[in-house]
Amino acid sequence: MKNYTKLYINGEWVAPDGEGACQVINPANNQPAGSVPLGNEHDVDAAVQAANNAFLSWSQTSSVKRAEFIGAIAARLNERKEEMGALICSELGMPMSWSVAVQAGMPAGVMASHAEFPVEMELEESAGSSLVLREPIGVCGFITPWNYPLHQIVGKVAPALAAGCTMVVKPSSEAPLNAFLLAEIIDEVGLPPGVFNLVSGPGKAVGEAISSHPNVDMVSFTGSTRAGIRIAELAAPTVKRVTQELGGKSANLILEDADLEAAVTKGVSDVCINSGQTCAALTRMLVPAALYEQAVQIAKQAMENTPQGDPLSDVFMGPMVSEKQRETVCRYIEKGIQEGATLVTGGVEKPSGLESGAYVKPTLFSDVNNGMVIAREEIFGPVLCMIPYETEEEGIEIANDSVYGLSGAVWSQDADKAKAVARRVRTGQVSINGGGFNIVAPFGGYKQSGNGRELGRHGLDEFIEIKSLQLN
C-alpha cells in the first residue's frame, strides 16, 4: 500500500498547505490501496510559480537535452512497469496482465515516441519576406482522469516536455497513486526543478485553481463533457488555450459484407476491456437488419464467455473503478429496461461470487433505437447497445446522430469501401476492420467530444505558439 504525504513542487517533495488525505480504495475488495495528500489553491499557486520560474531556462534548453530527459523517463517507466502495473491494478481494478501491458507499458511507449520531437521546435520556415518560428506556449495545467490514468498524464507531459513547456499536473482522485510514482521517476532522472509539478486534490479546489490561474498559459483536460465545459468557462477570462478530450458514444458500423463473427466478437471485447471505462469504446453496434438476430446471438455468447473476476487472476474484466461508478452504470441499465430495450444478457446484479467488489456483468441490449438514453449518453461501463439499420446510408446517418464524435469503426471485406464509409463518419478516429490503437497517430474528437489532439506529431502542435519575424 502506497501512502504519500507530500506534493512534488519545484523539484522537491513538500508538505501541502491543504489539509487531509484522499483515500484510494481497491475496487476489487473495497480495501485501502493507498492515499495522497489534499492540496489546495495555495499549493497550486506555489506550483504555478515554480513552473513559471523554470520556463525561461527550460524553454531554451537544447532539443538534444530535452530528448535525453524524455528518453530517460521512458526507460525508467519501462523498467518499473511491473510495479506501475500492479499499482494501477490496485487503484483502478484493471486485471494485472492488462494493467502491466496497457496501463504501464503503453505510457512508456508514448513517452519514448516523443524523444524525436524536441528537434522540431528548431525548424524554421519562410513565408514571403517573413521567417516563421515555433515557440513553447508556456506554463501548462493538466487535469487528468482515472480510466487510463498514467497514459492520460504522459499523453500531456511528453509533448509539453518536447516543446519546452513547464507544467502543473492534477491527477484524478480515484486513481492518483501512479502520478506520484511518475513524479518519483522524474525526480530520479534529474529533470530541472519546476518543470514538472504535481498537486493532488479535489477538482473544485485544485482543478478550478489551475484552470483560472492567470499565469497558466494553457489547460489540457481529459474527462466528462460537463467538467470540460466548466474548465473552459474558468479559463475564458484569461483567454488561455484549452484542449479537451471528453466523452464519446462511438458507433461500430458493421456493413452487409463484413465478417460478422469477427466484427461482433471484436466489438464486444472493445466494450468490455477496462470494464467499459474507455471514452472511445464502441458502445453502439450498428448491424444490417437482415443480419441483426444472428449478430445479437454472437454478441450474447461473446459477452457470456468474457472471463470476469479478481484482477489478480487470469481474467479479461475486473471491477468498475468504484462502487459509485457501478451504481451509475446500473442506473443506465435500469433506464434501458424502462425504455423498452431487450436485456439480452447481464443486468444490475453482481456476478456470482463477486459480491464484495464493484463488479458489473457485461450487459447487452437489443431492440435499441438511437433515440433512447442508453444510445445517446455515455454510460462508461460494459454496456453494449445493438441497433439495426436498413440501408448503408441509414447506418451512416445513425452513426453520426450523436452529440459526440470521438471514435468509431467500420467493417467490410472491401477495404476501399470501408475507408470510403469511414471518411463519412464524423469522428476523430475510425478503426477499419479491427485496426488497433496507434500511439503515434493523433487522438481526439469532433463535436462535444472535445477539441485539440493528443499523441504523435499532431499532439505537439497544441503546445506551440507560432511567431513571425518580418524581415527587411
Report DSSP letters for 208-252, one per residue: HHHHH-TT--EEEEES-HHHHHHHHHHHGGGT-EEEEE-----EE
Are 301 and 295 spatial neighbours (Cβ–Cβ below 8 Å)? no
Q: Using a pLDDT cut of 90, give the percent of the chain over it.
A: 99
- What confidence tens digit (pLDDT) does each residue in 315-343 have? 999 999 999 999 999 999 999 999 999 99
> Cell numbers at residue 436, please?
488497433
Kindly give, in sequence order, each residue whose CB lies less than 8 Å from that of residue 272, ignoring residues fewer than 6 positions away.
303, 306, 316, 317, 362, 382
> Cell numbers at residue 408, please?
468509431
When pLDDT is averaged across residues 300-329 and rounded to a whole number, the result is 98
Quick check: helix, strand or coil at residue 20? coil
d(CA 229, CA 332): 23
When pLDDT is averaged across residues 408-426 and rounded to a whole number, the result is 98
Mean pLDDT of the chain: 97
pLDDT attached to residue 1 = 85
Return the ∠ at Cα 123 (arms to 120 and 129), rounded to 5°: 155
pTM of the model: 0.97
Residue 44 burial by CB count (10 A; 0-12/13-18/19+): exposed, middle or buried? Answer: buried
pLDDT bin (cut points 50, 70, 90) of residue 4 is very high
d(CA 441, CA 457): 8
- What confidence tens digit (pLDDT) does each residue in 75-84 have? 999 999 999 9
d(CA 145, CA 274): 14
Kindly give, in sequence order, each residue whose CB lies less than 8 Å from that of residue 165, ignoring residues fewer than 6 positions away.
55, 58, 59, 136, 137, 138, 139, 140, 463
- Annotated catalytic sites, by residue? 245, 279
When pLDDT is averaged across residues 93-117 and rounded to a whole number, the result is 98
- What confidence tens digit (pLDDT) does each residue in 453-471 have? 999 999 999 999 999 999 9
Taken in order of first residue, the domains within the chain and their CATH numbers are 2-246+449-470 (3.40.605.10), 251-439 (3.40.309.10)
pLDDT at 247 exceeding the cut of 90: yes
Quick check: helix, strand or coil at residue 371? coil
- Which residue matches cell numbers 480515484? 174
pLDDT at 212 exceeding the cut of 90: yes
pLDDT attached to residue 93 = 98
- What confidence tens digit (pLDDT) does each residue in 6-61 have? 999 999 999 999 999 999 999 999 999 999 999 999 999 999 999 999 999 999 99
pLDDT bin (cut points 50, 70, 90) of residue 398 is very high
